[in-house]
Copies of this chain bind each other. A is one copy, B any other.
Amino acid sequence: MGRDVEVPETVVRRLPIYVRALAQLEAEGVKTISSLELGRYIGVTAAQIRKDLSYFGEFGKQGRGYEVSHLLGEIKRILGLTRVWPMVVVGAGRLGQAIASYDGFKPRGFEVVAVFDNDPRKVGQRVGHLVIQDVTELPETVRALNVKIGIVAVPAAEAQKVANLMVDAGIRAVLNYAPTALHVPEGIRVEDVDPVAILQSLTYYLVNAGDSDPVRAGAAAPAGDSTPEL
């Protein structure tokens, strides 16, 4: 599209939150919403919303707010969510199985199409409607189904090896559940899902809430409006 301005990563990370909120509002029958209301709903300022959306064009009419369905459709288009993205999962332990059978992907644009493990006792077993495949079959499956997204759900010690395998097979984006930093070639994107890391930042506020000014310590939450919700 040849946009002049590169969209900041923090903005890209907030767009899915807008999608989530707008989809919810649409389901509730809300037709239009002001940036102020949408901001309150999500927990960011109205100015933030207007600024975020300004990277992509004009979506609201002055004084009229946003048309919920239209804005939802536009942001989904921007994020590439007008299709369903196939994904592969490597690791068929408790976590991998929960991911592979999670029913919240499909309504939001994703589908696990294959799950792999290197444990011969697991290979051949069913997870939902999928059969666990041997991890050596990953390259062929990824190419055959033109999969671009891989989910790493193996222990930390095996995660890099799995990531390498994925990248070699053509995976371009990795969602990493292993609590370790993955190294991938330039052009490949990795995002970590590490709930414990999130908890560890929450405890910072718990131990630092009481010390100086309890009100201010608490207010640190809304004050962090320059950072994404995720």
Contacts and interface: CB of A to CB of B under 8 A. Distances in A.
A95 B98 contact: yes
B109 A203 contact: yes
Contact of A188 (B8, B12, B42, B221): B221
Interface string A17-36: 10111001000000000000
Interface stretch (A63-71, A115-123, A132-140, A178-186): A178-186
How many copies of this chain are found per oligomer?
2
B16 A192 contact: no
A125 interface: no
Nearest to A43: B181
Contacts of A201: 12-13, 15-16, 79, 191
Interface in A66-120: 77-83, 85, 87, 94-95, 98-99, 101-102, 104-105, 108-110
The 8 closest A-B CB pairs, nearest first, are A187-B218, A80-B207, A9-B224, A16-B200, A16-B197, A80-B203, A173-B202, A187-B216
